[in-house]
Every structure is written in C-alpha cells, then in structure tokens.
Structure 1
Amino acid sequence: MTPERYQRLREVLDKRQPDLTVLMENVHKPHNLSAILRTCDAVGVFEAHAVNPTGGVPTYHDTSGGSHKWVYLRVHPSVEEAARLLKDRGFTIYAANLSQRAVDYREVDYTRPAAVLLGAEKWGVSERAAGLADADVIIPMMGMVQSLNVSVAAAVILFEAQRQRLAAGMYDRPRLDPETYRRTLFEWAYPREAAALRRRGLPYPRLAEDGGVVGE
C-alpha cells in the first residue's frame, strides 16, 4: 500500500453517500447489474441492494470495471424485506415505473435519503414492488420506445441525483459515520487481510496516516 494509493482511497471514501442507493428487483443479466454497480461507484453510492429469488446475484462481469470491489451489494430474499429495511433507515423509495402517478425524474429531491427501485429487464418493476414504493418516476421519451435499458435508466436518474447533491455541497465532506469509514477503509486497503480477520472473528487494526498498519 503506497501513500498515494491510500490517499486515493480516502478521497473516494470521503465522497461516499450513505443515503443514496438503488434497489434492483430481479435484474438478472450480469452486464446490466454490473453496469448499474459501475454507475453507483461513479456517483458515490456506498451500498446497493438487490432482490433475486434464485438466491444468487451475478455481478462479476467486464462491464463493472471492478466496481464490485468498491460498492457493497446487499442481497435480500424478498422485495418486502428490502423495502422495509430501507424505509426503517429513512429512505424514500422511487420506482422507475410508467404509471398514472409517475412524475418526471428531475422533479424529485434527491438530496434527501433516496432509493431508486429498478425492475427486471423485460417486465420492469413488479406490481408488488411498485406497491411498496413511495412514488414513481419516469424519464420522458420523445421517440418510439417507451423506456430505456435498465442500466441506462439507472445512470440517467443517479447522475441527476449527483447533480443535485453536488449543488447542495453534499460531496464536500465525509458523510459516513467514523466507524463505518474506518472499517471500509481497511477493507479497501487490505482486502485479503480483512477477509482473513473476519473469518477468525478478529477486529481490524488501526491504520496510520500513510496507510500502514499501526503497531507493525
């Protein structure tokens, strides 16, 4: 771990947004899920959420550009459980869903805790998931097609959220709590060592200002 690499990790972590996320409902295709995670990394999402009834979510794909290492993906057994957790944390859930109540995605205030609900590639957000959302958003389309690819739609909405948050100064200071920041920084800097310590049930050591381990 060079001091330069360590500083780069801290710069990225300083901009992570713990109150901006996505909830992917049955997004099966690896290239789509990986592309969404790549966008999450680009806009500073700290943790993403997914629901897949098969029990596994394929994320390792060239499209991700390695972003699966930097964005935590929490997999839930049901959309109800995922929605409950997010709402308990204070998130408003916005479904990317063509409906009578849908509003232009740019009319939403993304500076408040926001989760973007994205549906399966072919069917979109299910009726069950839509019923759990607080609001529906749409991306206005001027052509013959009614919607964008799910990963493209995610990028459009998330970069609007980034635009609003940049204007509000929400990237100007670290927003993770100190313990989460410390833990994540060690896992990013020393992933193999972190995995070994977790298996043994041991705490992570403290890191020095140059990225070295205190006490070594």
Structure 2
Amino acid sequence: MPLLPRRFARLQAVLNRRMANLTVLLEHVEKPHNLSAILRTCDAVGVLEAHAVCLEGRLPTFNSTAQGSQKWVPLHRHASAAAALQSLRQQGLRIYGTHLSAGAVDYRSCDFTGPTAFVLGAEKWGLSQECAALVDQAILIPMSGMVQSLNVSVATATLLFEALRQRQAAGLVPSAGEGLDPGRYRALLFEWAYPEVAAWCRREGRPYPELDGEGAITESLPRTLRLRC
C-alpha cells in the first residue's frame, strides 16, 4: 500500500523534533515493563535513541507498555559500561548518573540544555561502582518518604522531562529537524517511511532513493519492492 501523504507528514513532524544530543544509558535494566516505559518516555520527549548495557546472555525484551516505541527509539547495546560511556563522550555528551554518593547534587540544579546523557542502573541495585565512578556528575532526585529512590522508569521520565522543560525555556527544542545532522535526518526519514526498501538498499549496498515533497519515491524500483511500498 502506498505511503499516504498524511502519514509521511506525521513521520516528518515527529522526526523534526528529535534530539540527538539527549539520551539515556541503562545499566542492567532488564524488566520488560521498565524498559518499555522508558522507551515510551524517550519517544514522548523527543529522544532520538537510547543505550543499554545488558548482563551476559540477556537480551532486552519489551511488552505492551512500550506501545511500539522500540520501533521509533532504537536501543543500542554495549558490551560494558566503560565502552558505552566512552562512546557517549565521543559524541560530546556530558554524563549524569543517578547515584546516592557524597558528591551527588539535586538534579534540578543542573543544566541539561547542552548535550546530555542520563545513566540509570538496575531496578534493585542502581549503578555499578565501575559505572558510578565514570560519570561526570552524580545526581539525585530528592525523596521525602521512607524509600530512597524512584522506580527506574519513573526516574528516567523525571529527568528527561526536566531536560525538555529546560530546553523549551531556552528555546532549544528543535522544530524543523535541526536536532539532527541533515544526512542522518534524510536517512532516518526514509527508513521510517519505507523500512523494507531501506533494508533492500542496505543489502544491495546502494544509497536510499530520493523522496518528493509528499513522501513518494522518485526512482524506479523492482516490481516486488513496489508492491510492498
């Protein structure tokens, strides 16, 4: 079935507000409900992609809580916390880790308008010592009750929406795709619009075809592909 112009406009509208300089890294967060809720929040805020360090032999799984968010917010897996943090730093991100330590500061006192990555740990244990030692700044969400921390998905939502609030106040939330590199924007828009054609192009080692203003592919494609567009 051809891609309808209104569907293409919806994909553009969402991608236009995605932010490549805001992300989360999850260390050993494995419960499907929590992973699903976190990716749903990432999608709602405009986070482009998320990251995870999983225990050996464990793969991320999702449930209906995600509402399909894992399709729109890819979760990249890393072999270790050190490797993940190194990758994020190479992207110019400042690393904030939720960790109850002597040096931790109230998250509301931090500036999240610049490139930011939030690191959160497993549901029961929090960040590992290795990971906590590598973050740029430990942060905490103040608690007034008997418990010392929020559920990891709730904590993630609290931090991400504070980052969004700060960026909105500073006029830094993208509205026309400026949150992404132009080349990446075009590639993602094509992949969102035509995932099967994009997969075929990657297998064939060829560039993605151009799209017109309504999202139609401007090049001729093999008949078998045209039938699936």
Bucket of the pairwise TM-score, normalised by the shorter protein: over 0.9
Letter in 1 for 2:212: A
5+ residue gaps in structure 2?
221-229
Q: Which residue of 1 aligns with 2:195?
A: 191
Does the residue aligned with 2:102 lie in a helix, a strand or coil?
coil
Moved more, 79-88 or 171-180: 171-180
Query: 1:188 Cα shift?
Result: 0.6
Aligned to 1:84: 86
**Structure 1 residue 55 displacement after superposition:** 4.8
* Structure 1: gaps spanning 5 or more residues: none
* Deviation digits for residues 121-157 of structure 1 (CA, Å, limit 9, x no counterpart): 1100111000110011111111111111000100011
Matched positions, count: 216
1:146-161 superposed matches below 5 A: 146-161=148-163
Does structure 1 conserve the Cα–Cα contact (< 8 Å) formed by 2:54 and 2:60? no
1:139 paired residue number: 141
Q: 1:129 aligns with which of 124, 131, 153?
A: 131
RMSD between aligned residues = 1.2
Residue matched to 1:114: 116
Contact kept, 8 Å, 1:57 with 1:75, in 2: the verdict is no
CA distance in 1, matches of 2:159, 2:6: 32
Structure 1 residue aligned with 2:208: 204
1:63 alignment counterpart: 65
8 Å CA contact 1:59–1:68 kept in 2: the answer is no
- Contact 1:55-1:77 within 8 A present in 2 as well: no
Q: What is the TM-score when the length of structure 2 is the normalising length?
A: 0.91
TM-score by length of 1: 0.96
Which of 179, 183, 193 pairs up with 2:183? 179
Q: Which residue of 2 aligns with 1:99?
A: 101
